[in-house]
Amino acid sequence: MEILWLLLYSFVLLLKAFVFVHGGGNITYDGRSLIINGHHKILFSGSIHYPRSTPEMWPSLIDKAKKGGIDVIQTYVFWNLHEPQQGQFDFSGRRDIVRFIKEIQAQGLYVCLRLGPFIEAEWSYGGLPFWLHDIPGIIFRSDNEPFKFHMQRFAKNIVDMMKSERLYASQGGPIILSQIENEYKSVEAAFHEKGPPYVRWAAAMAVGLQTGVPWSMCKQDDAPDPVINSCNGMRCGETFAGPNSPNKPALWTENWTSFYQTFGEETLMRSAAHIAFHVALFIAKKGSYVNYYMYHGGTNFGRTAAAYVIPSYYDQAPLDEYGLIRQPKWGHLKELHAAIKLSSSPLLSGAHTTFSLGELQQAYVFSKSEECAAFLVNNESRDVQVFFQNFLYELPQNSISILPDCKTVVFNTAKVSTQHNTRSTIRSQKFDSIEKWEEYKEVIPDFHKTSLRAKTLLEQMNTTKDTSDYLWYTFRFRHDSPSAQSVLNVASSGHVVHAFLNGGHVGSAHGSHQHKTFTLKNTLRLRNGTNFISLLSVMVGLPDSGAFLERRVAGLRRVRVQGKDFSNHPWGYQVGLLGEKQQIYTDLGSRQIKWSRFRKSTHQRPTWYKTTFDEPAGNDPAALNLGSMGKGEAWVNGHSIGRYWVSYRTSNGNPSQTWYNVPRSFLKPKGNLLVLLEEERGYPLGIFLDTISITKVCGFVSGSYLPSVTSWRRQEGSGKIYQKKPGRRPKLQLHCPPKRIISKILFASFGTPSGDCESYDIGSCHSSNSRDIVEKACLGKNRCSLTVSSHTFGGDSCPDFPKALLVDAQCS
């Protein structure tokens, strides 16, 4: 009987692999793509995480994504944000996931809901609430009954909430795809025989929630039917082995547009051309869903960032941390999306063939009756010429040309004709008035002032329960020796430690994202009699990945003074700082303590600083320049804008982050409260409040570049494409942000300008009237367009040279 039941259940799951129908919507899939209401779809998706921005920003972010050719907004669900204490849920403010999804629906886009509930995402504890750690017998992400109970309970709560708001496509809502778990394959082997059953259980549990839409598992090549296995990474067109069933589509759930950044590390840059190449290759190999992770990264407010991760998240995404369009990434990908959508009919229903055009060149062709689309790929690091269907084509190095009719090149991944823009900061306010600052110095606790005691070194995370980054370890000992000099040696698996002897600072040390443990070693001058050592252990975020996360340890591991091990000595502990407990970063809390006038001190101890400021004029994003500070956290009107660590420099000598986002919704017109907790010797009088804006736009287009893809149309009922206005040539287009105009032409050259928008000069061939013509066409306008041709510039003084136009302009 049990075997019969299992066979029946498997049959039901298999049916769900092909049809998800409830109410007014119909979401199915096959080996080609997701099918929405009977139509195969190629979908471009962008990750925007609701808690990493503000509700006031959501409409603009979604609108810009839509205008960039995005069809789907993808987001995780953040368990520890919604259930910080067991059974106590919070969906207010930035946590209002229903409001976020309804905004997406209002703008006509779809949603991919990545339920997790383990998400990693460079988010504290991988999105798991820390109270799970204390559930008896629990083992995270394994075939473990306590974990499965709580995971299913949370998943059901979220799904029931979505159903009650009718947000699944099966109910007429925007959610067309969900994800369970996250990159589990990378840790599955560590769980041995408890791994595979957990995967099967998670898949069955998710499908059993009956959402009426498909489920996926990323980087899980053995995802059980009907769950779709998907790819994550930068080069899924090269690395993805493909769906594990011919009846499943190829999905790319994370195409990293740059990479997350940690304190002490430089930003990883990824070019628009590189992203476009790999998207085009994935589509050429029958991929049908590509999600950009991130499309807008936003900000890790408060203590939400994982270990060592900076507040600014994926700032190099098509929409930057502040929601500003980052060019040329946004515009080049928009052109790519349009080129692929122009090819969608043969892509989705045509026969797929691949053949060689050379040693490192291939053609991927989709054809049906009269329709045909081709992707011509050059994997070589030099320009080449290839013959395709009896025509000769020029292929730039490491590029893909898209031919929606197998004849006409409408887009090449390496030819970036979209403008570049430059983000600038404009000084709004200085905080250099000593009279406007007040301070509150933390008391350095000694052993006598602690109530939590143990005869061993306690593990930090289990002691603080994620209520604070800080844990004081204190002990006392007698010193009776004519020599006052001694050595303190502290081994830590935390992130930072500050050491104090008898209330005075004697040294600090820290680890890094790559090196999880470190040692502080400092000389001490002891006094005869009783000495008090206080060690402030600091976490810069909880870990977010790896097997057996519940077993991870942090904090001090060993303490020696002059060779004597005090690790199993009586210790006194204080969780957090006094200012945290009194919430002195809020308006109410700040009025409950006695602040002192600011005084520059040479002695280091945790110190709180307070001042007020007015909102900057205009609507541009605002940011605090904390370049004069050391390490700590900042609050504006009680909202934490994140941890800062300016003193931790990269190998190039720069802070990983200097400007810290202050959303306009955090501000009021007058009297905004700014509070900083400084662990080191930061200098608050050097802080500035700046506004962020796009102040320069630059374009570089050669005569061999292509007209905008939007100039092309596919003729109904045939395989032909045509231009709305025949004979269109490549154009250089400049566009300032709204309410700004092109106020100055900084450089203009038609001919053979050298360099690019980062660094340029006039070449050997240059039209002397370049600046005059560009100024006439562009000055005083929000946007302008110039055809790249000799006719535009009144003739050709050097006909033997291929021409290009480079213009750099200022927006005001």
- Treating both helix axes as pointing N-terminal to C-terminal, what angle do 58-67 and 97-106 enclose, rounded to 10 degrees? 40
Closest CA to 289 of 248, 349, 331: 248
Closest CA to 499 of 566, 439, 553: 566
d(Cα 238, Cα 288) in Å, to the nearest integer? 15
707-713 contacts, C-beta under 8 A, 24 or more apart: 707/731, 708/335, 708/417, 708/733, 709/335, 709/338, 709/339, 709/342, 709/410, 709/411, 710/338, 712/342, 712/404, 712/408, 712/410
Q: Exposed e or buried b for every residue in 406-418, given b needs 16+ CB within 10 A?
A: bebbbbbbbbbbb
- Treating both helix axes as pointing N-terminal to C-terminal, what angle do 97-106 and 145-164 enclose, rounded to 10 degrees? 40
The 3-state DSSP class for residue 662 equals: strand
DSSP collapsed to 3 states, 233-296: ECCHHHHCCCCCCCCCCEEEEEEECCCCCECCCCCCCCCHHHHHHHHHHHHHCCEEEEEEEEEE
Contact predicate 476/530, CB 8 Å: yes
Report CA 783 to chain centroid distance, whole Å.
30
With a CB cutoff of 8 Å and minimum separation 6, the contacts of 807 are 698, 699, 732, 734, 745, 747, 748, 774, 778, 786
Contact predicate 113/180, CB 8 Å: no
How far is the first Cα of the chain from the last one, in angstroms, to the nearest whole number?
A: 76
Q: Which helix (H) or strand (E) holds 215?
A: strand 215-218
183 is catalytic: yes
Closest CA to 464 of 547, 556, 583: 556
Closest CA to 753 of 733, 732, 767: 767
d(Cα 580, Cα 578) in Å, to the nearest integer? 5
d(Cα 655, Cα 645) in Å, to the nearest integer? 8
Length of the chain equals: 812
254 is catalytic: yes
With a CB cutoff of 8 Å and minimum separation 6, the contacts of 509 are 490, 492, 496, 497, 518, 519, 520, 521
Residue 9 to residues 16, 216, 258: CA-CA distances in angstroms? 11, 19, 42
DSSP code at position 304: -
Residue 218 tokens, joined: 């990323």
DSSP code at position 157: H
Residue 599 tokens, joined: 């005084």
Say which of 103, 181, 183, 550 is annotated catalytic.
Answer: 183
Q: Are strands 672-678 and 607-613 parallel, antiparallel or unpaired?
A: antiparallel
Contact predicate 627/658, CB 8 Å: yes
Q: Are strands 470-479 and 571-575 parallel, antiparallel or unpaired?
A: antiparallel
Contact predicate 541/124, CB 8 Å: yes
- Compute how many other C-beta atoms are within 10 angstroms of the C-beta atom of residue 30: 14
Residue 683 tokens, joined: 């200098």
Say which of 83, 103, 120, 254 is annotated catalytic.
Answer: 254
DSSP code at position 715: P
ω into residue 217 within 30 of 0, thus cis?
no
The 3-state DSSP class for residue 782 equals: coil
Q: Where are the alpha helices (DSSP H) in 165-245?
A: 185-188, 195-208, 236-239
- Treating both helix axes as pointing N-terminal to C-terminal, what angle do 195-208 and 145-164 enclose, rounded to 10 degrees? 20
The set of catalytic residues is: 183, 254
